[in-house]
Amino acid sequence: MDGTPGTAGADGETLAGPLAVEACSGEGLGGADGAGANGGSAGGPSADAGSGGAGGQPGQPGLVKISFAGAQTLTFPPQPTAHQTDGGPFPIEFAATSNAGLPVSYTSLSPDICTVAGNIVTPLAAGTCTVAADQPGGIVAGVTFPAASQVVQRITITAAQTPSVSGVKAVPALGTWGIGLLMALFGVVAYRRRSE
């Protein structure tokens, strides 16, 4: 049987989806056959047994099944932090949630930039890592929730930075005069050694 739109609940809260009502199979019980007795009068003929009344008719189908189908939505907050390709795997900072309380799974929509396993993102290259949150549906407290619409968030992956060495000064290059003086100094040292 097709569902009809939900109506206000007992506490005045509107139901969150279609309402399905269907009769379940099964029949009610009929009444039991009875035995009757015809009584005699005092001083008269003896009493003889008579026939009783017939049992009741079978009842109508006994149960009605009511089920609700709830709408499901996902909330996936923006991911605030940029990560570097050399920073290694990192967890999704703000998890996606389902209004039904069902578990959410993640996949990468940009596998050349990042991969996702569970809630851990592994950066592969610089660019925009697009992560999708999905929930395939399920049953919570007797309410059936269909699959939620996919929600995506983007995480910026930056290239690894070349480390800078601070506190180290470059060695100055020797000009023509510096090389000439250095050669003259080596010449004097060599001459002294020979003369000794």
Q: Among all chains, which residue has been given the structure tokens 């399905």?
A: 20
Please name the fold of domain 74-158: Immunoglobulin-like (2.60.40)
Tell me the per-residue pLDDT of 22-71, one tens digit each, with 9 for 90 and over.
445 555 445 555 544 444 455 555 555 555 555 555 555 556 566 667 88
Residue 63 confidence (pLDDT)? 60
SS3 (DSSP) at 165: coil
Task: Read off the tokens for 102.
Answer: 């069902």
What is residue 160's predicted lDDT score, i.e. its pLDDT?
82
CATH 2.60.40 in the chain, residue ranges: 74-158
65 vs 95, residue with greater confidence: 95
Please give the angle made by the CA atoms of 81, 83 and 89, to the nearest 5 degrees: 115
Enter the pTM of the model.
0.52
The pLDDT tens digits of the residues spanning 74-83 come to 999 998 888 9
